[in-house]
Structure 1
Amino acid sequence: MNRTTTRAALRRRAALALAASGVALVVSGCGAFSRAEPPVCPRVVVLRDTAQAVQIEPGAKDVTGVRFLGRIADAQWTCDADTDDGKRYLDVALTVVIDAERGPAAPDATATAFDYYVAVADREQTILNKQVFRSDLPFPANRLKAGSKEELSIRVPLPGTSTGADYALLIGFQLDREQLEFQRGHSR
């Protein structure tokens, strides 16, 4: 063989060796880069009828009796799959953003609190679990508005072959009858 043929042969061998090592790296690296599919999270729904809450003076008939108005402004969530005692779960990290505004019946109030709920419902909209939480909102003397970010952890059991797509987290304010009637009579 002449020199040119030898160099070409060496280049081909080097290229083949490089290609073979590249394939080996890709094949061996597949396990290093593969991950389980992320879980499907439940839907999160802020229910329209309870997305706001009005705190009123007892017996109030119009908006002059409003002490505070609260709104669920946003909800953000992520979830992770978990197994505990052989049972499957989704652990949902939920952040509920609550905004509040001081009304005409509370000009000097410095704080309020709103109760809100998170309920787990199945595809048939049957409530499987409901928890009520409290959001405390301080109002500095010179402010008409306040807000809070409530960070919660909700565990959703996954029986059988169910996934997060089979469930929804329902969020709203926990209203008493008087609040609900007032809101329905004064909705915008």
Structure 2
Amino acid sequence: MRSIAAVFAAALVLSGCQSVRDRFDGPQPNPGPCPNALSLYDAHRLVEFNGEERVLRNVGFTGEILNVRGACTYTDTRVSPIDMEMAIRFAFGRGAAAEGSEKTYYYFVAVTRTDSAVIEREVFPITVRFPPGENRVELTEEISSIVIPRAEATTSGANFEVIVGFELTPEQVEFNRSGLRFRVPVE
């Protein structure tokens, strides 16, 4: 008798939140996973040097991709695309050798087949203004629609990746691959 009363009480509590019809007639979950959204290790940070030596006093502007988040929706149309939204959190810095208080950075978003070929790649600018006395700025960029084509409706989002990174010179890529980091002294 107590278990019937507990079930009935739970049903009353739940009915105040949502009806059974709303629960089954509401938005349906995706039939498959979203593509992985990630930053490319070799391009997740940018360090500009003003001068030949790679030392802290020669660091100009810097940038780093802190986090990449994505959400997607499978659509049921003739070409059966996956529509993806992304949010990319950046941190930007102004070093001792930076000139000015504004910098335009460029980053890319590429849709790839997992561990394979690039399907599409687009470059975006982001202009950062450093307020007086500030040498670090964090921003989040949102991309509202990335269309990921699928050959058929049964192709899973797990077959794709959405990769982001900074547009870099060969020297900047080499610096990232070297693993070198600067530690700012704390006073």
Q: How does 1:156-175 map to 2 (within 5 A)?
A: 156-160=148-152, 161-175=154-168
Letter in 1 for 2:146: I
Letter in 1 for 2:45: Q
CA distance in 2, matches of 1:30, 1:186: 55
Aligned: 1:73 with 2:66: yes
Q: Which one of 105, 119, 122 corresponds to residue 114 of structure 1?
A: 105
Q: TM-score, normalised by structure 2?
A: 0.75
Q: Which one of 82, 85, 94 corresponds to residue 93 of structure 1?
A: 85
Structure 1 alignment gaps of length 5 or more:
1-28
Equivalent position of 1:48 in the other structure:
41
CA displacement at 1:182 relative to structure 2:
4.0
Q: Deviations over 1:115-164 (max 9, x none)?
A: 11111111342111111111111101110101211111211011123121
CA displacement at 1:63 relative to structure 2:
2.9
Q: Deviations over 1:3-29 (max 9, x none)?
A: xxxxxxxxxxxxxxxxxxxxxxxxxx6
Moved over 6 A (4+): none
Letter in 2 for 1:100: F
Larger % of helix: which? 1
Aligned: 1:147 with 2:138: yes
Q: Deviations over 1:28-61 (max 9, x none)?
A: x669615533242101121111110012226454
SS at match of 2:75: strand
Aligned residues of 2:112 and 2:161 also touching (Cα < 8 A): yes
Aligned: 1:103 with 2:95: yes
CA distance in 2, matches of 1:167, 1:185: 28
Aligned length: 158
Q: TM-score, normalised by structure 1?
A: 0.74
SS at match of 1:88: coil
Equivalent position of 2:174 in the other structure:
181
SS at match of 1:105: coil
Deviates more, 1:178-187 or 1:138-147: 178-187
Root mean square deviation, CA, Å: 2.2
CA distance in 1, matches of 2:160, 2:179: 33
